[in-house]
Amino acid sequence: MHPKLEITPQTALIDVPRRIALHGLAAGQPVTLQTRTLRGPQVEWSSKARFIADAEGCVDLTRDAPVSGSYSGVSAMGLVWSQVQHPEDASHDPFAQEPSAALTTEVRALLEDGQVLTGHFVQQLAAAGVTRREVRDDGLSAVLFTPATPGPHPVVMVLNGSGGGINEPRAALYASRGYAALAVGYFKCPGRSDYISDTHLEYFETALQWIHRELQPRDGFVALSGQSRGGELVLLLGSLFPDMVKAVIGYVPSAFVHCAQNACDPAIGREGPAWIFRGQPIADIWTHNRTATWEPWDNGPEPRRHTAAMLSALQDPDAVERARIRVERIDGPVMLLSATDDGSWPSSLYGKMVKDHLAANRHPFPVEHHDWEGGGHAILFPYVPTTHLFYAHPVSKRLSTSGGTPAVNALANEQSWIAVQAFLARATAAQAERAKARS
């Protein structure tokens, strides 16, 4: 029997784990597996690990741990999340070149006798039939992904964090799982400012009105999904526009309104407001705060942790109360996804504060808080590299760590997406019941 490299499924959505296996080896035969994924003309991510064949001459990554290499322990997709970037100083965004395009990973198996077996697999962000359309109506800078299935569909509005831009990958994946998804850019995208400073929340009100008018969501269901500053923003928008929002998903969110911070316009400064509503800045936790200091961030030990400065602001109870997001006004279920080693801000503590406040106010809808012990700020979705723990902020260019470890961050990526899909399924079913009861 000749050695054979098997990868199944070869082509599927990015959230589908692959089975990578070798057959036809000699018992106890060592083999090295290498991967290579191009993410741009001069940027590649790669990994390698060494395995020992079992008594039947097989290696199966769904059950076998490597004896050495880029990762340890049993992980079917370990060769993906353990990939490292070359060159190291390239953009750490794995989707920077074509945000919703499929990713192709080459796999090579190197045998001791010099044989090289080759294979590949394709990770799709958009399922067959999903359509992409740029939206510039009403001054919006957005991209709409629509499922292949007949509508009307429930809708998810997707918001990025302090890196700005338009989060097409997540929107494409939501659409691939049955939700019309509008990825809305609010800075660092066409027609918008390069900075988060003085972002007017009426812009998102316009986006929500456009969704309800143009997409006519099934049962009126619109969920908000946001990451980091976008996680703060979705809680804020859910509290301001409860008539148009029926569920909120906050990835590493904040319990409070924050100032512009690292994404600020340098002419205004990092303590200037991020959000403006009805002509007035929304009070943030840094405003008239008696304990807040940037010292732990500006002069702290390397690698810099933005969280240290954020914790200083929590020592002033009056400022905390002024800046608290009024999450009790949200008219639907809330999901919070956080991690205990978040280097950007204390999302674990923030998530607990939001959950406790909702419980104290007897929020009539389900509230879920998923918190990954030892995980960092970059909770994305499976299966992407998680080794890029240190980065230059896309706006300020300041170096810092997002926290966590590659293995825990990979686990959070996988488990969070499973939880989000289950949350949305329950939320849409509950909204259908509410709509039926009103009719």
* DSSP symbols for 135-168: E-GGG--EEEEE-SS-S---EEEEE--TT-S--H
Instruction: Indicate the SS3 state at residue 209.
Output: helix
Strand-strand pairing, 275-277 and 247-251 = unpaired
Higher pLDDT, 239 or 436: 239
pLDDT at 99: 72
| H/E segment holding residue 231 | helix 229-240
Checking if the pLDDT of 96 tops 60, the result is no
Q: What is the mean pLDDT of residues 112-125?
A: 95
What residue spans of 47-86 are helical by DSSP H? Answer: 78-81
* Structural domains of the chain, ranges and CATH numbers in brackets: 4-124 (2.60.40.2240), 131-438 (3.40.50.1820)
Q: ∠ at Cα 220 (215, 224), nearest 5°?
A: 80
Tens of pLDDT, residues 175-224:
999 999 999 999 999 999 999 999 999 999 999 999 999 999 999 999 99
pLDDT interval class at 90 (50, 70, 90): low
Tens of pLDDT, residues 283-334:
999 999 999 999 998 888 878 889 999 999 999 999 999 999 999 999 999 9
pLDDT at 39: 78
Q: Which residue from 37, 63, 36, 34 is spatially nearest to 50, judged by alpha carbons?
A: 34
Tens of pLDDT, residues 164-177:
999 999 999 999 99
Tens of pLDDT, residues 415-432:
999 999 999 999 999 999
Instruction: Indicate the SS3 state at residue 157.
Output: strand
Tens of pLDDT, residues 229-239:
999 999 999 99
Whether the bond between 71 and the residue before it is cis, its omega within 30 degrees of 0, is no
Look at the block and give the residue holding tokens 């900075």.
Answer: 195
The residue length of the chain stands at 439
Checking if the pLDDT of 106 tops 60, the result is yes
Query: Cα(82)–Cα(413) distance, rounded to whole angstroms?
Result: 13
pLDDT at 1: 72
What angle, 0 to 180 degrees and rounded to 10, lies between the N-to-C axes of helices 229-240 and 202-210? 70
Sheet with 199-200, edge to edge strand ranges: 199-200, 275-277, 280-281
Catalytic residues: 228, 342, 377
Q: Are the C-beta atoms of residues 275 and 285 closer than 8 Å to each other?
A: no
pLDDT at 93: 63
pLDDT at 91: 59
C-alpha separations of 210 from 137, 166, 234 in Å: 8, 17, 17
Checking if the pLDDT of 254 tops 80, the result is yes
Averaged pLDDT score across all residues of the chain: 94
pLDDT interval class at 100 (50, 70, 90): confident
Checking if the pLDDT of 277 tops 80, the result is yes
C-alpha separations of 386 from 78, 334, 381, 402 in Å: 10, 26, 10, 11
Which two structure tokens, joined as six digits, stand for 57?
Answer: 């001459």
Q: What is the mean pLDDT of residues 150-176?
A: 96
Look at the block and give the residue holding tokens 């928008």.
Answer: 237
Q: How many helices (H) and strands (E) would you count in the chain?
A: 9, 23
- In this prediction the pTM is 0.95
pLDDT interval class at 399 (50, 70, 90): confident
**Percent above pLDDT 90 for the chain:** 87
pLDDT at 89: 63
Reported as half-sphere exposure (CB side, CA atoms, 13 A), residue 421 has a value of 15
Q: Which residue from 392, 395, 158, 140 is spatially nearest to 274, judged by alpha carbons?
A: 395
The residues near 255 (Cβ < 8 Å, ≥ 6 apart) are 235, 324, 325, 327, 350, 351, 353, 354, 357
Query: Cα(279)–Cα(262) distance, rounded to whole angstroms?
Result: 23
Whether the bond between 152 and the residue before it is cis, its omega within 30 degrees of 0, is yes
**Percent above pLDDT 70 for the chain:** 97
Instruction: Indicate the SS3 state at residue 212.
Output: helix
Q: Supply the Cα-derived Rg of the chain in whole angstroms.
A: 23
pLDDT at 9: 98
Which residues does residue 119 pair with via DSSP β-bridges, in sequence order?
107
Q: Are the C-beta atoms of residues 197 and 213 closer than 8 Å to each other?
A: no
Q: Are the C-beta atoms of residues 337 and 250 closer than 8 Å to each other?
A: yes
Diameter of the chain by CA atoms? 74
C-alpha separations of 302 from 26, 170, 275 in Å: 48, 31, 30
Strand-strand pairing, 199-200 and 222-227 = unpaired
Query: Cα(43)–Cα(99) distance, rounded to whole angstroms?
Result: 15
Q: What is the mean pLDDT of residues 132-144?
A: 97
pLDDT at 317: 97
Q: Which residue from 193, 260, 253, 255 is spatially nearest to 224, judged by alpha carbons?
A: 253
Look at the block and give the residue holding tokens 């994404």.
Answer: 263
Look at the block and give the residue holding tokens 């001069």.
Answer: 42
